[in-house]
Amino acid sequence: MSISDIELMMSANIPRKTEKMAHLLQPILRGLLSWIFILNLSLMAYAGDEKSKTTDASWPSFRGRYASGVADGQNLPDQWNGENGANIKWKTPIPGLAHSSPIVWGKRIFVTTAISSAGDHSFKHGLYGEGTASEDRSVHHWRVYCLDKTSGEIIWDELAAESVPKDKRHIKATYANSTPATNGKIVVAFFGSEGLFAFNADGTLLWKKDLGRLNLGAYDLPDYEWGTASSPIIYRDLVIVQCDTQGEDFLIAL
């Protein structure tokens, strides 16, 4: 069933009272189908690729191995306390603000962050329906960190980009929402309109790609800017990113 088939079903025989609701649901369905498509790509990336096999302890991209969100046999704690340190092996401060998840390969952990020169390292949390964007338009530094998994020591810290953000972000979001990806040889970080960046295992920038301005927000309110969150995957020799924007959506493989 295609997206147009679903839209046709939604528009047929819909009472006038629910017509507006159906109209609002259409972009949600589009986004859901796009998410399913990229999830299928994630499964392909790891299930059938002998070159990208990971160790059991590795978590190479968003939601881990096979994009399943499952880590079997890791004996992980189900309780911890940041104040008294219970079940916390180490803590390493990382400046800035990020919703991206850490990834793990072997004995290394990789994280991304966006650091505001204005010192605004906060976001609004809680349940509310506002579409407000942050007004922090200061110069930001987008960075990638590599840490030792055993000690938390920073192995390397590299700058990916430095500029005034091309877009605003939702006050619930950050400028580093996308989880990076690795295959043990390269580390790929996606920062939306700031670009896509690939580093080697030692932190040397291998290449970067400007994908243009990726303006995301409410589909019917172009002034609402919320920021990107799609995470890249690595499949064999390809880096694949889904870009769902207010303009033309696209899927790119590099």
Tokens of 159: 């700058």
State residue 56's pLDDT score: 60
State the pLDDT at residue 154.
Answer: 99
Tell me 206's DSSP state.
Answer: E
pLDDT at 101: 97
Identify the H or E element spanning 239. Answer: strand 238-243
Q: What domains sit in the chain, N to C, each tagged with a CATH number?
A: 55-67+86-253 (2.40.10.480)
- Which tokens sit at 11? 């528009």
| Alpha helices (H) in 119-240, listed in sequence order | none
End-to-end CA distance of the chain: 29
Q: Residue 60 has what pLDDT? A: 96
d(CA 101, CA 44): 21
Q: Given this model, what pLDDT does residue 71 score?
A: 84
Task: State pLDDT tens for residues 168-224.
Answer: 888 888 999 999 999 999 999 999 999 999 999 999 999 999 998 887 777 667 777
Strand partners, 114: 97, 142
* Whether the Cβ atoms of residue 138 and residue 164 lie closer than 8 Å to each other: yes
Within 10 angstroms of residue 57's Cβ, the number of other Cβ atoms is: 13
pLDDT in tens, 15-28: 444 454 445 455 55
The ranges of the chain with pLDDT < 70 are: 1-56, 219-220
pLDDT at 41 (0 to 100): 57
Phi/psi for 97 (5° steps) reads: -140, 135
Annotate 6-27 with b (16+ C-beta within 10 A) or e (fewer). bbeebeeeeeeeeeeebeeeee
Neighbours of 186 (CB within 10 A): 15
pTM above 0.85, yes or no: no
DSSP character string of 65-119: GGG----TT----S---TTT-TT--------SB--PPPEEETTEEEEEEEEETT-
Count helices and strands (H / E) in the chain: 2, 11
pLDDT at 51: 43
pLDDT at 43: 54
Q: Which among 231, 251, 254, 192 has a CA at the least distance from the CA of 69? A: 231
